[in-house]
Amino acid sequence: MNGVIIWSEHVSKRAIIWCEDHGRLAFFKAEETLQGELSRKNQVFAYESGDMVSFTVDEQADLRLARDLQWVSRQKYPHLAEQLKAGSSSVAAVARPSGNIVQFRCVEPTDPGAEAYEVA
């Protein structure tokens, strides 16, 4: 599944992801997904709010857990979290008639160096 990180915390290596299916949010915690791989546990956690990611979903009880997080594009949707929090007019303007779906609006890179942040 694809989604956009709307919150991340580097010390605890956690993230909350807004999912492309507009279902429940997915929660990511690095230590729970690495299955004891010490070399990967020590990697720097560099995911930021606004990053578009691809991941595997694990449904457990009432939680949606994300595993195998991989970048699709860094900072593709940098303002999504703020728009969701604020309930801004820009979010309302792109909501479908049901009012439950918010369209992802991306920022197209204008700087040629921005493509260096894309992950294949």
Task: Report CA 1 to chain centroid distance, whole Å.
Answer: 11
Instruction: Give the three-class secondary structure for 60.
Output: strand
Q: What per-residue confidence (pLDDT) applies to 101?
A: 55
Which structural domains are found in the chain, ordered by start? 2-77 (2.40.50.140)
Q: What is the DSSP letter of 90?
A: H
**pTM > 0.75:** no
Q: For the chain, 120 residues long, give each residue's pLDDT as a single digit of tens.
A: 999 999 999 888 899 999 999 889 999 998 755 554 444 555 668 899 999 999 999 998 889 999 988 999 998 988 888 887 777 455 444 544 455 555 555 565 554 444 433 333
Instruction: Quote the CA–CA distance of 22 and 31 in Å, as a whole number.
Output: 26
**Partners of 54 in beta bridges:** 2, 70
First-to-final CA distance of the chain? 16
